[in-house]
């Protein structure tokens, strides 16, 4: 855990995939749609992650020349599109969000996701003020404009806003460049693989769970 001096956080904005939501179902459903073993696609995802490439490249490796957007539309039309259920949330998500709100922190969610994913997440009625996605905003991480929107969503000054994510290159470095504080969550393939990277080292806090995050944010507010 790393802690840097600064004012007490007033708002926390969470990434979605591998931060709040497990992606097991997501990739399993893609493998089934492509007609390949789930382990094969999982291994391809791991390979592109290790190379610092976008995870959708795994789909194109499995099916060369695939138009991922067209495939998404086809899946939806076939009734095999995105799904999100309570069991897709990590166990610490609801307790942590409740605890942060009890501390008086404004809590919101914003990640690189489709509009459908945003709708599904809102349907779970998490204890957050708002849920936003890159598809709705028309801009995705690590674009600085995404973090401009994060600040608007937070309704707090950048230095009073914490962005929490698992992928240092997309979450931590650009958040810090935008003047926000950042917490790196070490879980999921990106969080674990890049935990010791230079990008991860930029984080104000480095945690292994949202339960740990609640503790460090509570401590920061008690002294802020």
CB atoms within 10 A of CB 207: 22
Look at residue 2 in the predicted model and tell me its pLDDT: 54
Answer whether residue 3 shows pLDDT above 70: no
As a whole-number percent, the residues of the chain with pLDDT over 90 amount to 92
Q: Are 34 and 59 in contact (CB under 8 A)?
A: yes
Length of the chain: 224
Strand blocks (E) in the chain: 11-14, 106-111, 130-133, 161-165, 181-185, 205-207
Least confident of 47-51, 60-64, 204-208: 47-51
- State the residue for tokens 């995705």: 140
Question: How does the average pLDDT of the chain come out, rounded?
Answer: 95
Mean pLDDT across the stretch 175-194?
96
Report the C-alpha gap between 5 and 17 in whole angstroms. Answer: 28
Q: Are 47 and 58 in contact (CB under 8 A)?
A: yes
This prediction has a pTM of 0.93
**Local confidence band at 221 (pLDDT 50, 70, 90 cut-offs):** confident
């Amino acid at each position: 855990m790393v802690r840097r001096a600064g004012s007490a956080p007033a708002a926390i904005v969470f990434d979605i995939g591998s931060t709040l939501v497990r992606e097991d179902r997501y990739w399993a459903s893609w493998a089934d749609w492509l007609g390949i073993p789930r382990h094969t696609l999982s291994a391809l995802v791991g390979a592109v992650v290790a190379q610092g490439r976008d995870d959708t490249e795994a789909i194109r490796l499995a099916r060369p020349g695939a138009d991922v957007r067209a495939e998404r539309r086809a899946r939806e039309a076939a009734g095999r599109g995105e799904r999100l259920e309570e069991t897709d949330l990590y166990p610490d998500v609801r307790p942590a969000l409740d605890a942060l709100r009890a501390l008086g922190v404004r809590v919101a969610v914003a990640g690189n996701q489709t509009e459908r994913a945003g709708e599904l997440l809102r349907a779970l009625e998490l204890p957050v003020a708002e849920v936003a996605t890159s598809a709705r905003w028309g801009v995705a991480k690590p674009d600085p404009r995404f973090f401009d929107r994060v600040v608007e969503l937070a309704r707090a000054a950048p230095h009073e806003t914490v962005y929490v994510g698992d992928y240092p290159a997309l979450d931590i470095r650009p958040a810090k460049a935008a003047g926000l504080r950042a917490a790196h969550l070490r879980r999921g393939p990106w969080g674990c693989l890049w935990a010791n990277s230079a990008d991860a080292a930029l984080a104000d806090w480095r945690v292994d769970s949202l339960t740990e995050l609640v503790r460090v944010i509570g401590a920061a507010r008690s002294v802020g």
